[in-house]
Structure formats: structure tokens, C-alpha cells
Structure 1
Amino acid sequence: MSNQSESSRRSRKGAMQPTLNDVAREAGVSSITVSRYFNSPDSVREATRLKVEAAIEKVGYVRNLIAGSLASASSRVIPVIVPSLSNVVFIDVIKGLQEEFEAHGYQLLLGKTDYDLARETQLIRTFLGWSAAGLVVTGLRHDEATRQILEHWNQPIVEIMELGEGLDLNVGMDHVAAGRAMTEHLLARGYRTIHFAGAELDRDYRAAMRYAGHREALAAAGIEEAPLLDLPVRQQMTSGAQALERIRESHPDCDAIHFANDDMACGAILAAARLGVSIPDDIAIAGFNGLPIGEHVTPRLTTIVSPREQIGRVAARKLLARIQGEPVGELSHDLGFTLRVGDST
């Protein structure tokens, strides 16, 4: 991916943020009616409410919740939106963000989406209304309502965890390359019937990107089949145990499983002892993220180590530089990854 200059990406920078009058004009009602919609929605007829809500979404309006002379000022609060707070991956990212922000007098406002883009829109509408100084949001994929809001919002934004064409700043790693690297490792070890196992890949699309890299590596080795087990529910270690059992039953010739994350991979390793499966002699197991648990299971897990805390720190530094009017360098910052070879492959 080619680097972009600081001035080339953000065409929205300097755009006028939509006002209450813009909403009224779009809805074909008075600004007083729009104000009444916010302050006393029950007093507005349903048909009018629907028109106002449609106009709000279309123009990307965010209500400023700080009244009076403070309404045009930025607070020292920075919202951070992540998919999950039960996943240690995002806890590590938050740690890096929080330490950098607090060192510069900013406080973090935290929200989780549960991998739901509509919920992301709701969080952004609420958080930006408090005159946030900037925004950190996970991923590059947003629904149209979110994109409309952020295109008209004049404060800096950092999208984290992946790389690509974003709204503003972008800090992460190449997930396709990570998936490709692990599968190349498995191929180099002599494994040929390699399955990829994940859960809810339609929502966990970064895992789906790693599967795309997995397929690329197999195709480059002349292997056309790239079997995928996509479980319907994400249950961390339990999902890994289920995946091992199902793949062993349906594809007894499978000699390696490339898991979407370490939780599933470690769940498979723990289940293997109960099932009488020897790893890696009967089947190899590989993961992603480089979580500490992978170093404590037997055999030690082969995994891709993602730079989670560093992603948080670099994202925070770039956002703070933009807030303070300082140069940020490259808009997209690739922090890379590390292949850590254990005994499970």
C-alpha cells in the first residue's frame, strides 16, 4: 500500500459540521420543531419524528450536549470504541491508549460495539455530542450512517487494528499478510491438508482477512482446497474444542488447523489431551495474537504475535499530535507482526 501525505486523504477536514438548521431544512420543518424533537420528543407527531430522524441520518448531524459558550469548544475527553471488553486483545490496546492520553491530560471514554456496526453508530452519536477532542475507533468498516457523521466531523480520528484507505489516521497491521505467513510456516513444516477455523467471520472480518491470506498461501503452493470451519457462535476456548472435534470427525486426513485466534487454538490443545489426540504428531495447531496463555499450554502454541499495546500507544501519539497541530507523518502506520514458533506445529 502506497503511503499518503497528510494533506491527501482527509477531504472532509475543514468541512462544515451539519447544524440543527441543516436538519430542519432537510426534513422540511422548522428549527423549533427539530429542537422540540430533541428536548421533548413525545410532543412531536410520529410522522414528523420520522422525517427528522431521517434528516439527522442523511446529513450526519451530531447534537452537541455541552450547552452555552462551551458548545463550540473541545473537551479533554477522547472516545475509544472497540468490539469487545472481554477479549484481552482489546484490553492491551486500551492500556496503551489510556497511558498515553493520561500522560497528556486527556481522559478516555470507552464503548464497545459487540461487533455490531449499528451499535457503533449509536455510540458515536452519543460520544461525539460531548465535544470530544478526537476519536479512536476499531477497524475501517462502518455503516453509512457512521461514515456520514464522521465525514462531517472536524476533529481527528484514528482507525486502529488494520490497514487501508481510512477516514483520517490509521494504525494497525496487515491481517492478510499475517494469515499468509502462518500458512507458509505450516507448509514449510510439511503440512498439506490445512483447515482454517474461526467463528462468526461475517462479523469478525479481520479474521476473515487472515483466512484470505491463508487461501493465498495455499494457492501459491498449488493447493486448491482451503477448507473453512466457521462456527456460528464465538465461545472462545469452547469453540476451539468444538472445532477440533468436528474437523477430526469430518476430515480425519486433516494434518493442521490454522485457528483465527489463540483462544480457539488453546481450547483445541486442551481438548486434545481429553480426546487422546497428540499435537503436533496427529494434528498441528496454530493461532493468532500471541496471548500469554499460548506460552503456558502444552505443547506451546505457534502463533502470530500482534503488537496490541503498541498499536494503542502509536494511535494515541498520532491523535495527540493532530490535536496539538503537530505533524503526524504517514497517515497509515504499519506496526507489523511476529511469527512465534512453539511446539504445536
Structure 2
Amino acid sequence: MDKQKADTRGRRRHLGGDRVTLQDVAREAGVAPITVSRALKHPERVSSKLRERIDRAVSLLGYVPNLIAGGLASAETRMIPVVVPSLSILTFIEVIHGIQQTLEQSGYQVLLGSTDFDIDREAALVETVLGYSPPGIIMTGLRHHERTVNRLKRLGRPVVEIMELGASAIDMNVGVDNHAVGACMARHLLAQGYERIAFLGAGMHRDYRAMQRFEGHRRVLEGAGAECDLLFRRDEPSSYDMGRRLLLEALKARPDLQALHFANDNLAAGALLEANRQGIQVPKDIAIGGYLGLSLGEHLSPRLTTVSVPLFKMGVEAAKLLLAKLDGQPLPTAQVDIGYELMVREST
């Protein structure tokens, strides 16, 4: 087919004519249809020169793969569902980025779903996405509705749970020990000489991982003989404004507080900015620590002390485990502890 004919076919399809098929692309590229299929599904399995030729044909003809038909024919799609509690929290955005970048390199796409920290909503969402017969699925956390756990165990396909570690993983697990993270910041604040230390969080009735960090914090203070149950929490979602409000609430209730351990960097940043507005000197009047290691913390004044977790790497490792299992590769481990690092800066 010469370029003029191809352009004519492309224009006709743009105006609503017949659909470009895989066979059309194969004919334009001068290869067999099965070669085109292989290049589109597994680009890493064909030579770069051949892939470029097929990509040119796809672009020239305006070919769009029929994913539904392909899924029905092969009993699966190339879409990997990734289920997270929220799409507006930076924590999950960085993890998703790592997952997406890694999966796309192997010809897969991410299908995102958000549960708003609701396990019933998560259960309904999982039932829906599994109806498309995905090759595998990535879930957030280790706590799910019983029917979700049973459904995923019967799936017979790779399941990766992220954000925390535990023995109850359905299949594979990549995350961090949240109790250890909470304990890490508490030990640091104690080592700095602070004795009256409060933990502050938002939405903790749904975000049980924040509660795990509080438990790690509380145990360290209890072991040191310090007041250990100072907890200020609000049911509303985490935000800079919520951090501001929690700071004022805590200092009004306990003016003798020496340090504040926030459940995340967003809250800690809001508190630090409000302290500056109020003329409260950090850390002289009150020390402030956070969790996550967001780049924002380095640009505050004073810079924020935090426990940093490699979120992007967590996403990459989760995707790697899933891909390895899909390819039938032996796994050295089914659980990856992503680790954390205490970043000591001027706020403590």
C-alpha cells in the first residue's frame, strides 16, 4: 500500500469509515500479523529496527488496538489494576508513578481505582476490575474485606500488596514497617531531650497505617517512662490547614508540650507554617517532626525533620515482583521491606 492510499484510508476512518485492523498494519509494515501483535504486546521481544517500522505503520494508519476484543480472545487484558485509598495524596501519587513507569516498559498499562479508605468500596471495585480478567493486580495495605481476600486468593494470578509489611499477605508484599517508622521518630525526639511529645494525625479512623505509626511512637515513649498517650486527631482528611488547626489545638490543650510528631509531612508543614505566622519559634518553643520525606520539607524554614520512605522505589519494586511472576521467573523473596531513613533537619 503506497502512502497516498494509506492517507486516504486514514482520512476515511477519521470520518467514521471502516476500522484499521491488525492485518492493515502488518501489510503496511511488510510483516506477518503475529509479528505486529508481538511488537505491540511485548515490545521488548522484537528488535528496535522492526519495532520502529511497525510503530511508523501504526502511526500512519491511525491504528487503535481493540482491547476489549483482544481481551475476550486471550481471556486477559494488558491492563494492571492498581487500587489505592486516594488519588489526591502525594504518598500514593509517587508510588503510582513508580508502578506505571515500570509496567509500561514491559507493555502493560495501569488501571487506577480509588477506595477513599473504604474496604466495602474496595471490595466492589475489585469485583469490577477482575471482571476484565487482568493478568495481575496491585492492592494497597493488608487489610481487606473477607470476600476480597477470598476472591484474590482464588484468582490464580499475581497479587502485590503495598505500603505495609505483614505475614498475612495474599501473595506478594512490598512496604514498610509502620510501627518501626513511628518508633524511629519517637526515639529521635527523646534523644533530643524532649519529654512531653504528642502525636497528631488526621483521618486516622480510616487510615490504620497512621495508627500503626502512633502505636510504634507510644511504645517507645512508654518504654522510656514518658507520657505516652498524648494524641490529637481529627476525622477530616489530611491537609496543610488541618496541620495548622492541630498545632493550635494541641498547644491550647497542653501549653507545656515540647515536641509534635505528625502523622505525615503535609500536616507537619501546615503546622510549621502556622508556627511561623504565630511567632512560635521552631524548635526552640516547639519541635516538629513528620513522615514521608516529601521534597517540600527541604524548602520550609526551618527545614522539616522527617522519616523518609522511598515511595517511587516502592512502586518500582511492586511492579517488578508482579512482572517476574507473570514471566515465570523464580522470586528470591515474596516480600520486600523498602526501608526508611530518618532525615534530621532544623525543625527538631
Using the size of structure 2 for normalisation, the TM-score is 0.78
Name the structure 2 match of 1:129. 131
Question: Compared with structure 1, are the counterparts of its residues 179 and 153 closer, same or farther at alpha carbon in structure 2 (3 Å cutoff)?
Answer: same
Matches within 5 A, 1:142-153: 142-153=144-155
Q: Return the alpha-carbon distance in structure 1 between the equivalents of residues 197 and 114 of structure 2.
A: 34
User: Does the aligned pair in 2 maintain the 1:194–1:226 contact within 8 Å?
Assistant: no
Name the structure 2 match of 1:52. none
Q: Which letter maps to 1:81?
A: V
Matches within 5 A, 1:318-337: 318-337=321-340
Greater share of helix: 2
Q: Return the alpha-carbon distance in structure 2 between the equivalents of residues 186 and 93 of structure 1.
A: 28
1:70 to 63, 69, 72: 72
Q: Return the alpha-carbon distance in structure 2 between the equivalents of residues 88 and 235 of structure 1.
A: 11
Query: Which stretches of structure 1, 4 residues or longer, exceed 4 Å deviation after superposition?
Result: 65-69
SS of residue matched to 2:157: coil
Which deviations, in whole Å up to 9, do the C-alpha atoms of 1:202-227 show, x marking residues without a partner? Answer: 21111111001101110121124321
Deviation at 1:340, TM superposition (A): 0.2
Which deviations, in whole Å up to 9, do the C-alpha atoms of 1:91-111 show, x marking residues without a partner? Answer: 111111011101001111011
Name the structure 2 match of 1:100. 102
Question: Compared with structure 1, are the counterparts of its residues 162 and 68 closer, same or farther at alpha carbon in structure 2 (3 Å cutoff)?
Answer: closer
2:241 to 232, 238, 245: 238
- Which structure exhibits the higher relative contact order, with contacts defined as CA atoms closer than 8 Å and separated by 6 or more residues? 1
User: Does the aligned pair in 2 maintain the 1:77–1:133 contact within 8 Å?
Assistant: yes
User: Does the aligned pair in 1 maintain the 2:71–2:132 contact within 8 Å?
Assistant: no
Query: Cα RMSD (Å) of the superposition?
Result: 1.6
Corresponding position: 1:211 with 2:211 = no
Q: Return the alpha-carbon distance in structure 1 between the equivalents of residues 228 and 126 of structure 2.
A: 41
Corresponding position: 1:184 with 2:187 = yes
User: Does the aligned pair in 2 maintain the 1:178–1:304 contact within 8 Å?
Assistant: yes
Which deviations, in whole Å up to 9, do the C-alpha atoms of 1:146-183 show, x marking residues without a partner? Answer: 11211211111000010002000000111100100100
Structure 1 residues without counterparts, runs of 5 or longer: 1-64
SS of residue matched to 1:288: strand
Name the structure 2 match of 1:46. none
2:114 to 107, 112, 115: 112
- Higher gyration radius (CA): 2
User: Does the aligned pair in 2 maintain the 1:71–1:131 contact within 8 Å?
Assistant: no
How many pairs are equivalent? 281
Deviation at 1:123, TM superposition (A): 1.2
SS of residue matched to 2:155: coil
Q: Which letter maps to 2:256?
A: D
Using the size of structure 1 for normalisation, the TM-score is 0.79
Question: Compared with structure 1, are the counterparts of its residues 227 and 161 closer, same or farther at alpha carbon in structure 2 (3 Å cutoff)?
Answer: same
Q: Return the alpha-carbon distance in structure 1 between the equivalents of residues 276 and 226 of structure 2.
A: 30
User: Does the aligned pair in 2 maintain the 1:159–1:171 contact within 8 Å?
Assistant: yes
Matches within 5 A, 1:215-230: 215-230=218-233
Question: Compared with structure 1, are the counterparts of its residues 69 and 247 closer, same or farther at alpha carbon in structure 2 (3 Å cutoff)?
Answer: closer
Q: Return the alpha-carbon distance in structure 1 between the equivalents of residues 71 and 322 of structure 2.
A: 25
Structure 2 residues without counterparts, runs of 5 or longer: 1-66
Once the two structures are overlaid, the 10-residue window that deviates more, 70-79 or 210-219, is 70-79
User: Does the aligned pair in 2 maintain the 1:237–1:267 contact within 8 Å?
Assistant: yes
Corresponding position: 1:82 with 2:81 = no
